[in-house]
Structure 1
């Protein structure tokens, strides 16, 4: 059997290896003897399963899972989570299955191990899709048991520690994935210690030259800072003694990545960042935090606008502390964090700080409450996402490090991503509130729905039962919940519109045979659906409506051989059924392209566009030449009373006179039309050409607008753009 030892990081390569016996001795500080015995049994099982396997460094594979368990042990995680950590690669990398783990241990441990394991039995089209699917599986397992992500974070941390044996390109890819996903998750769960180390290791792997340059500069600067740091620390301790306040004072080292990020994001020089002196004061009680804050503001003047009270309003991950920036001696800046011991412990380990799994105790734990809200949000994202890649995209949107704190009319605090809008707020309150939002008041003033919110504002949402989400909202919402819900609604809407259109198209073709859809034999329909691999008639109609299947060819398959084919269709691959009537209210499955912008009253034709539905063109449009009398051709016409808004483009040549544009815009508005877009090109200095994209009812409406504009003295020539 593999010798019971475990891997250390590359930077600790010269230190003695960490033994399973060391882990067991460490666990005696907080676990019972029988629980430690179970952890050892999991180690024996994992060592036997990984027998003969090695890491890229040449070390026996068992080193890695044991190191992962040690990282979790430092956070005082329960023994079952430690067992799952030691077993976490068994399903993925050996022949042992989930059932065998459940039989050897229990279902709880088997579920934890399975939650961390990647999907290896499914063939994916790309690496990105495989990674997204595995990530989705892990996050959904996390919603049932959050220990899954704790194991994964520890696994990623040890992999980052031992990244040096891999190719530079792979190091950069893994580092980038760490920055995009695992660092934000650690931050979201408030696990500061893991987040900081992942950032440092990722920085060294992704930007090695920048890392070494800043590391060397910090080492040089540190020697010059010792005396100043000592003087400030003595001044702080002296003031606390004068006030009779007790607190543990310590200098706080800025990590290299935070220095680099501040230099990059705020366009600061190295010395501007390093010359900020940081201190942390840890006290016993919450009220002492505020008393010490007052004494610090008496010692040095505070910098206006640089005070943050995360005790009264904690961060979404449960983080609590007072932050203030002071003008120190000689004009230097001093950052001070003031917190209690519990707050400090929580800031280091987040949700793992007060780990009481499946316990009703400690329900007011802010990290646990924040994580619970996030997990509920993940389940909502899962319901609205179409595939794994889209789900991963939503999660990335949701992992913003910066936050905005706003209030409901009743005074409840809502935490949103930085840049969040009124729509994001509405969806954060409830999915139904977001879906039916029509207007909003911010600090009692009416504002547009795309208004970006700022901390401290009070937001009131006005809803209407008849209102629905708009595709336009996707251009400005920033939270994953809002984006996912809007996309989900649009997908369902588009699906129903496609079914309705597909039914009309199929019935149009069946009409050429004097048949209706309900008259088609059920056996014939079942055979066709089976041949196409579709579950039901609705799926077939949706495929037709989206342009993925030609209704004429589907009709030929559905018509019985006994049914007499109309003579005008015999030997012809094209349909002679009556043209499809376009209502203008078909929604997203009927499109009117910009090349000719058809409107009611124009002679029109249409083509099928796979995945999009049908595209309607004006009969004279130059872009349809290649489609005439092809499989994708469709005869269409307007209904007698079409509805909806249509856009058209007119070109107006005007003299260069002051107020010309305002005069024309006013006349268009008088005629009941809305201007969607205006562009202008100057010709010879005396005249200009204006292009207007207008919302109109039909061809007659356009004619009336053009007739009105011709009456204006500034207009020299006007005509409608064609295809």
Structure 2
């Protein structure tokens, strides 16, 4: 017995149950015979039918012992999927093979690589596009508490990711979605076997995603059935009410419509139109319900709907379409404003036909649709009509019809989340479209309700950023103007590079309707904020360098603060994630318990670590007065031992005897060091008192004070203190800057030279 996966998948197509004892799937052979008969009737070459049979045989073995919730053998589902595709004239052999195999990878031990070896890369890619994401981390069979609460969210994320995967595959090969639409249609036909909550979820997804997708692809036969089935499961009471109204109305009109069909057939024959197909057509329940809703909003009711039933006339060529139209208008009175020429002006889906509504002799209204056989194929089967069992698909016209799919790849490149991707899909792709022109006459397709700004971003991101105004059909319009079919749009660029306005993101102002434009505008502001934050970070670092008189290496600081690059650290500084006051603390060495070595700060002594000797008494160079946190180097004097300089001190950089320089480092215990700070301030009474009080409160010893009164009524005070290191000096300087009247505070050398940053 073929081994099968035991998990019941949480999706419409996941109604397979694994069992070891199921009956042989004899009905599958009968169903395949029906498929084979249809393919032969459509004159598909024998070798292609044989290839399709091989795919069926593989699928039958893979699904042996698996059953749907309805009790049917699972193999019936891929067979029905292939039959649906055949019925919409999708006779491409690889597509039908992939339809038969589309659940094999998901529901059997067969891998995608094995399928590629057996059937080739083309079919394997189609199957992979339809196959949902595999659940490598399977959810537990039983969950409680927080786990159970999280499952719906996990399922939602999983479903969004699977939809994104399918749509991106569809952008590469539209046959993927044709298989998926057929797959979903059969699942909707058998939805009654599922639990109510799953029926509702699947029906909602079908209404929001798959039915609009069928509409965009022009497959009316699948769109109508998907909408009706979704409506039936989502709003059963309303569905029954609308069905009753329609049935009662059609019963009343049945005789009149039948007589109209007979009269029309006879009249066209008398006028020489022999090979004409005439049939009746009733609108779908869902479309009637939608029209009832629109009518209710304008104060009209069900009785005012004129096109519940229509007559479809299929003729030989376009000339006959207009000829038959003239005959019909001669027979019955046309209703004013109820004529549409979709031959001259096709719909966005490629649909072409003539529509007119007339009043028959019994006083009833009747919609008549007139089209050629090719137009009828396109209306019923949409993009699938471009495939024929003869070699290949259609060329340029086909590419134009699915150009909107390329947007999916653009969105993927923007690396947006799966749920956001699906939301954009619903609101921009699977909605009605508006067609407008560039000044050069090129057509652009946008979601209905789009504005000139949306148009600008569809042309190019930089055009959107530089938009200052817009002209529609040669006249200036507001940037919140709603574009209409046939409009010619000219974007007026800004004379400067100020970029978009934040007002554009305000939904109440109506400047932007598409997520594409919104995401580009948000990206611009994120980049600007990042640039401004980086600039602010560099300014703060430069200022702190000047204040402390220390050479601050951004990469070293990035490492100390746990950032990979200097740019990341500077950005963190500019956004406030790292405080400027933290720099002095972080670059100073850690403090430990005091050592026994004694030094006299007032004499210029300090302690440093000398390799091989440990903490050793040395002298602080008067030219640069190094402090912990600064890179230092020792200089061996001829009769005074070791003098410690900053490593960037001019005396060191210009030393003629570099062999007298030695490596030293700061010890791990606290000691006092002289530091000179310059304070520039407005001259005022009590300034010096405030400064000395603040310094004393910080427990720093003042060893010297000098002041200089300037002609501009400012005063410069030079203050020498003994501090434990840069962090203490930095805190003192920050507090001094907050004193009233203080203009600037910075650290300097004892000789009055400001430290280089």
Candidates 564, 588, 598, aligned match of 2:628: 564
Candidates 42, 53, 62, aligned match of 2:66: 53
Give the count of matched residue pairs: 554
- Using the TM superposition, give the Cα deviation of residue 511 of structure 1 relative to its aligned residue in structure 2, in angstroms: 7.0
Secondary structure at the aligned position of 1:469 is classed as coil
The question of 1:194 aligning with 2:222 is answered yes
The question of 1:482 aligning with 2:520 is answered no
> Aligned partners of 1:98 and 1:551: how far apart in 2?
53
Higher deviation after alignment, 185-194 or 113-122: 113-122
- Using the TM superposition, give the Cα deviation of residue 281 of structure 1 relative to its aligned residue in structure 2, in angstroms: 1.5
Change (3 A) 1:68 1:275: closer
- Using the TM superposition, give the Cα deviation of residue 274 of structure 1 relative to its aligned residue in structure 2, in angstroms: 6.6
C-alpha contact (below 8 Å) 1:276/1:332 kept by paired residues: no
The question of 1:150 aligning with 2:178 is answered yes
Which runs of structure 2 are paired with 1:272-671 in the superposition (5 Å)? 272-273=304-305, 276-329=308-361, 331-355=363-387, 362-365=394-397, 368-371=399-402, 373-384=403-414, 386-464=416-494, 466-467=496-497, 468-474=499-505, 475=507, 476=510, 477-501=512-536, 518-521=553-556, 524=559, 528-529=562-563, 537-538=566-567, 549-551=577-579, 555=583, 559=587, 561=589, 564=628
The residue that corresponds to 1:697 in the other structure is none
> Aligned partners of 1:100 and 1:200: how far apart in 2?
39
Change (3 A) 1:426 1:225: same
Change (3 A) 1:488 1:326: farther
Secondary structure at the aligned position of 1:186 is classed as helix
> Aligned partners of 2:558 and 2:431: how far apart in 1?
57
Query: What are structure 1's unaligned runs of at least 5 residues?
Result: 10-14, 531-535, 571-628, 630-634, 637-723
Secondary structure at the aligned position of 1:528 is classed as coil
> Aligned partners of 2:333 and 2:524: how far apart in 1?
53
- Using the TM superposition, give the Cα deviation of residue 89 of structure 1 relative to its aligned residue in structure 2, in angstroms: 1.9
> Aligned partners of 2:106 and 2:568: how far apart in 1?
36
Deviation sequence 1:527-585 (CA, Å, 0-9, x none): 9346xxxxx555555566566x444698589637478369xxx9xxxxxxxxxxxxxxx
The residue that corresponds to 2:682 in the other structure is none
The question of 1:126 aligning with 2:154 is answered yes
Deviation sequence 1:357-393 (CA, Å, 0-9, x none): 997763254x55211x112222222233521122112
TM-score, with structure 2 as normaliser: 0.65
C-alpha contact (below 8 Å) 1:506/1:555 kept by paired residues: no
> Aligned partners of 1:446 and 1:320: how far apart in 2?
34
The question of 1:140 aligning with 2:140 is answered no
Candidates 77, 81, 90, aligned match of 2:91: 77
C-alpha contact (below 8 Å) 1:407/1:413 kept by paired residues: yes
Secondary structure at the aligned position of 2:367 is classed as strand
Which runs of structure 2 are paired with 1:87-102 in the superposition (5 Å)? 87-102=101-116
C-alpha contact (below 8 Å) 1:385/1:488 kept by paired residues: no
The question of 1:103 aligning with 2:131 is answered no
Candidates 195, 202, 205, aligned match of 1:177: 205
Structure with bigger gyration radius:
2
C-alpha contact (below 8 Å) 1:506/1:551 kept by paired residues: no
Change (3 A) 1:327 1:554: farther
Query: What are structure 2's unaligned runs of at least 5 residues?
Result: 3-12, 16-25, 138-150, 591-626, 631-669, 671-730, 732-736, 739-757
The residue that corresponds to 2:32 in the other structure is 20
The residue that corresponds to 1:207 in the other structure is 235
> Aligned partners of 1:245 and 1:556: how far apart in 2?
95
- Using the TM superposition, give the Cα deviation of residue 66 of structure 1 relative to its aligned residue in structure 2, in angstroms: 2.2
The residue that corresponds to 1:254 in the other structure is 283
Secondary structure at the aligned position of 1:131 is classed as helix
- Using the TM superposition, give the Cα deviation of residue 345 of structure 1 relative to its aligned residue in structure 2, in angstroms: 0.3
- Using the TM superposition, give the Cα deviation of residue 481 of structure 1 relative to its aligned residue in structure 2, in angstroms: 4.0
- Using the TM superposition, give the Cα deviation of residue 447 of structure 1 relative to its aligned residue in structure 2, in angstroms: 0.7
Q: RMSD between aligned alpha carbons?
A: 3.7
Higher deviation after alignment, 494-503 or 297-306: 494-503
Deviation sequence 1:309-355 (CA, Å, 0-9, x none): 22222222211112223344455332222211101001111111121
Secondary structure at the aligned position of 1:153 is classed as helix
Secondary structure at the aligned position of 2:368 is classed as strand
C-alpha contact (below 8 Å) 1:183/1:195 kept by paired residues: yes
TM-score, with structure 1 as normaliser: 0.68
C-alpha contact (below 8 Å) 1:384/1:487 kept by paired residues: no
Change (3 A) 1:522 1:81: farther
Change (3 A) 1:52 1:430: same
> Aligned partners of 2:464 and 2:92: how far apart in 1?
40
Change (3 A) 1:504 1:354: same
C-alpha contact (below 8 Å) 2:213/2:430 kept by paired residues: no
